[in-house]
A = this chain, B = another copy of it.
Amino acid sequence: MLPKALESLIEAFGQLPGVGPRSAERYAYFVLKHSAADAKRLSSALEKVHSGVKLCPMTFAFIDASENISRLYENPGRNKQLVAVVEDPFDVIALENTGQFKGTYHVLGGAISPIDGVTPEQLHIPELIERLKNDKVGEVILATNASVEGESTALYIQKQLEEASLGEIKVTRLARGLPVGVDLEYADQITLTHALQGRKEL
Task: Mark A residues whose CB is within 8 Å of B.
Answer: 1-6, 8-9, 11-13, 15-19, 23, 25-32, 35-36, 38-53, 62-65, 72, 88-90, 92-93, 96
B43 touches A46 (CB 8 A): yes
Q: How far is the CA of A38 from the CA of B14 in the complex (A)?
A: 12
Q: How far is the CA of A23 from the CA of B20 in the complex (A)?
A: 13
A12 touches B52 (CB 8 A): no
Name the residue in A2, A5, A25 with the highest tally of chain B Cβ atoms < 10 Å from its Cβ: A5
B30 touches A17 (CB 8 A): yes
Which of B11, B25, B47 lies in contact with A90, CB distance below 8 A?
A: B25
Q: How far is the CA of A28 from the CA of B4 in the complex (A)?
A: 25
The 13 sampled A-B contact pairs (Cβ below 8 Å) are: A1-B72, A4-B52, A4-B64, A5-B51, A8-B48, A13-B42, A15-B38, A29-B90, A31-B49, A39-B47, A39-B50, A40-B47, A42-B46
Further 8 A-B residue pairs, CB within 8 A, beyond A15-B38, A43-B47:
A2-B62, A2-B93, A3-B53, A3-B63, A8-B45, A28-B49, A40-B47, A43-B43
A16 with B27, Cβ < 8 A, contacts A42-B46, A46-B43 known: yes
A131 to B: closest C-beta gap in Å? 20
B5 touches A64 (CB 8 A): yes
Please give, as numbers and ranges, the residues of chain B lying within 8 Å of A42 by CB-CB distance.
9, 12-13, 15, 43, 46
A41 with B12, Cβ < 8 A, contacts A64-B5, A88-B29 known: yes
A7 to B: closest C-beta gap in Å? 9
B32 touches A53 (CB 8 A): yes
